């Protein structure tokens, strides 16, 4: 892991002179908001063991990790982060990818375990982590026949699908 040089050879030097220093700083952010705890059996309160008979340990976030909080902790801007993530230094880019993946893993766990209030998590995952929401509309027999009929333009078929979706309403069930 070599020394990081100034971007383009001009301007002020990067805040983190080496990939190792940058990695330590990013790890410092996560250590500052996390503790590792044993997973306990809900009935007995005893630590659960994995297949190797070791306690199962998971990160517990005292404060939810966030990209902006991490940037503030590191003392760098979003632009600087992007330069680090997309720069020539593969070690720095790896640290950026890993940090982003850790935050994504937290959001994914929250999405799977939180009972309500997940809209913000879904928005974050779709906006920042390339998650996509897939919706399917089941059309009725008449709509399928109309779509299969020849002579319709793509625009007419799309309009028919839109009308079927509007008819289906919020529950997504077609009546015909």
At 153 the pLDDT is 77
Asked whether residue 18 is domain-assigned, the answer is: yes
Q: What is the pLDDT along the chain (176 residues), one digit of tens a residue?
A: 444 445 555 666 778 889 999 999 999 999 999 999 999 998 999 999 999 999 999 999 999 999 999 999 999 999 999 999 998 899 999 999 999 999 988 888 887 767 777 776 777 677 676 676 666 777 677 767 766 766 677 787 788 788 777 776 654 444 44
Q: What is the four-CA torsion angle of 96, 101, 102, 108, rounded to 10 degrees?
A: 160
Asked whether residue 99 is domain-assigned, the answer is: yes
pTM for the full model? 0.61
Hey, how many other C-beta atoms are within 10 angstroms of the C-beta on 96? 18
125/131 Cα distance (integer angstroms) = 6
The CATH number linked to 50 is: 1.10.132
* Domain tally, the chain: 1
12/2 Cα distance (integer angstroms) = 18
Q: Which residues span the domain enclosing 55?
A: 7-113
Under DSSP, is residue 37 helix (H, G, I), strand (E, B) or coil?
A: strand
At 172 the pLDDT is 45
* Residue position matching structure tokens 């850790």: 102
Cα-Cα-Cα-Cα dihedral sign, residues 30, 34, 36, 39: negative
At 176 the pLDDT is 46
């Amino acid at each position: 892991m070599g020394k990081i040089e100034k971007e383009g050879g001009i301007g002020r030097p990067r805040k983190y002179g080496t990939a190792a220093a940058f990695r330590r700083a990013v790890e410092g952010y996560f250590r500052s908001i996390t503790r590792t705890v044993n997973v306990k059996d809900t009935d007995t309160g005893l630590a659960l063991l994995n297949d190797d008979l070791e306690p199962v340990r998971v990160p517990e976030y005292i404060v939810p990790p966030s990209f902006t909080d991490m940037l503030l902790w590191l003392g760098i801007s979003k632009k600087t982060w992007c330069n680090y993530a997309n720069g020539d230094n593969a070690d720095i880019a790896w640290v950026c990818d890993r940090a982003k993946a850790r935050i994504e893993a937290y959001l994914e766990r929250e999405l799977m375990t939180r009972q309500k209030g997940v809209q913000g998590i879904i928005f974050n995952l779709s906006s920042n982590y390339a998650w996509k929401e897939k919706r399917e509309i089941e059309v009725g027999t008449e709509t399928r026949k109309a779509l299969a009929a020849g002579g319709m333009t793509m625009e007419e078929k799309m309009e028919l699908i839109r009308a079927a979706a509007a008819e289906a309403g919020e529950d997504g069930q077609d009546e015909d």
